[in-house]
Amino acid sequence: MTYLLSQTRQEDVFRSISENVGGSSDPTTFYYLLAGAAGLVVLLALISARKKRAARPRAVNHQGRLMKEILRRVPLKKSEVKHLRTVAGEQGCASPLTLILCPSVLAKGLSEKSRADRKVIMNVARKMGVVRRKTNV
């Protein structure tokens, strides 16, 4: 074995190297591997995004949807709701729904000075049965 290694000449080694390096190569296999790796990265990114989306719980209660549902049942105009929002803001309530659902807070808002139109708020209170019309007897 040592005899064979010792007999290889430098010219043979250079010729072998030039044959291996000088030959033409086909880059299509490299492109296929590159495309496969890119596809794998995109697939992993999609799976990660899906896991994040599925992990987040959906909001069950939506204040706007609840407001629409209540306004279907209670005959209030948009201007009346706007005045109720003003009174709710002055009372420290988060929503005009609080005034609709809690007549005592609405009555408190009526008794205090407000930027909202008092006539409109009184009309809303009458519709809800918080305040009754005065009768002249």
SS3 category, 116? coil
10-residue averages of pLDDT along the chain (137 residues): 64 81 76 96 93 69 82 83 85 82 79 76 77 61
User: At a CB cut-off of 8 Å and minimum separation 6, what does 110 contact?
Assistant: 118, 121, 122, 125, 130, 131
Residue 129's region, left for phi above 0, alpha for psi from -120 to 50, else beta, is left
pTM over 0.75: no
Phi, psi of 23 (to 5 degrees): -70, 155
Question: What's the CA gap between 50 and 64, in Å, rounded?
Answer: 28
Structure token pair of residue 115 = 């930027």
